[in-house]
Amino acid sequence: KTSKVQYYNNPMWPGEAHSLKVEKILYQGKSPYQEVLIFESATYGKVLVLDGIVQLTDKDECAYQEMITHLPLCSIPSPKKVLVIGGGDGGVLREICRHSSVESIDICEIDQLVIDVCKDFFPDLSVGFKDPRVQLHVGDAVEFLRNAPEGTYDAIIVDSSDPIGPAQELVEKPFFETIARALRPGGVLCNQAESMWLHTHLIQDMLSICHETFKGSVHYAWTSVPTYPSGAIGFLLCAKEGPSVNFLTPTNPIEKLEGAMTAGREIRFYNSEMHRAAFVLPTFAKRELEAY
Ligand X SMILES: NCCCN[C@H]1CC[C@H](N)CC1
Q: Which residues are catalytic?
A: 159
Question: Closest Cα partner for 12 from 284, 200, 222, 205?
Answer: 200
Output the furthest CA–CA distance in the chain (Å, rounded).
Answer: 59
Q: Tell me how far, at minimum, the Cβ of 27 lies from ligand X, in Å.
A: 16
Strands of the sheet with 35-41, listed across from one edge = 22-30, 35-41, 46-50, 53-57
> Would you tell me how many other CB atoms lie within 10 Å of the CB of residue 250?
13
Give the Cα separation of 2 and 138 in Å (integer).
Answer: 36
Among 51, 111, 162, 255, binds ligand X (CB under 6 A): 162
CB 12 within 8 A of CB 229: yes
Of residues 97-126, those binding ligand X (CB under 6 A):
none
Among 87, 166, 186, 216, binds ligand X (CB under 6 A): 87
CB 48 within 8 A of CB 252: no
Q: Tell me how far, at minimum, the Cβ of 287 lies from ligand X, in Å.
A: 23
Q: Pick the closer one to ligand X by CB: 56 or 238.
A: 56
Q: Pick the closer one to ligand X by CB: 34 or 55.
A: 55
Q: Count how many residues are written for the chain.
A: 292
CB 72 within 8 A of CB 236: no
Q: Pick the closer one to ligand X by CB: 220 or 228.
A: 228
Q: Tell me how far, at minimum, the Cβ of 220 lies from ligand X, in Å.
A: 15
Q: Does 89 bind ligand X (CB under 6 A)?
A: yes
Q: Does 56 bind ligand X (CB under 6 A)?
A: yes
> Is residue 270 helix, strand or coil?
coil
Q: Does 69 bind ligand X (CB under 6 A)?
A: no
Which span sits near ligand X by CB under 6 A: 15-23, 108-116, 156-164, 178-186? 156-164
Q: Does 57 bind ligand X (CB under 6 A)?
A: no
Of residues 176-205, those binding ligand X (CB under 6 A):
192
Q: Does 55 bind ligand X (CB under 6 A)?
A: yes
Question: Closest Cα partner for 53 from 207, 162, 205, 176?
Answer: 162
Q: Tell me how far, at minimum, the Cβ of 51 lies from ligand X, in Å.
A: 10
Q: Tell me how far, at minimum, the Cβ of 251 lies from ligand X, in Å.
A: 27
Among 72, 79, 91, 163, binds ligand X (CB under 6 A): 91
Among 41, 69, 161, 249, binds ligand X (CB under 6 A): 161
Q: Where would I find the H helices in the chain?
A: 61-73, 91-96, 112-121, 123-126, 141-147, 173-182, 200-213, 272-277, 283-289
Name the DSSP letter for residue 265. B
Among 39, 175, 220, 228, binds ligand X (CB under 6 A): 228
Which residues lie near ligand X (CB under 6 A)? 53, 55-56, 64, 87, 89, 91, 159, 161-162, 192, 228, 233
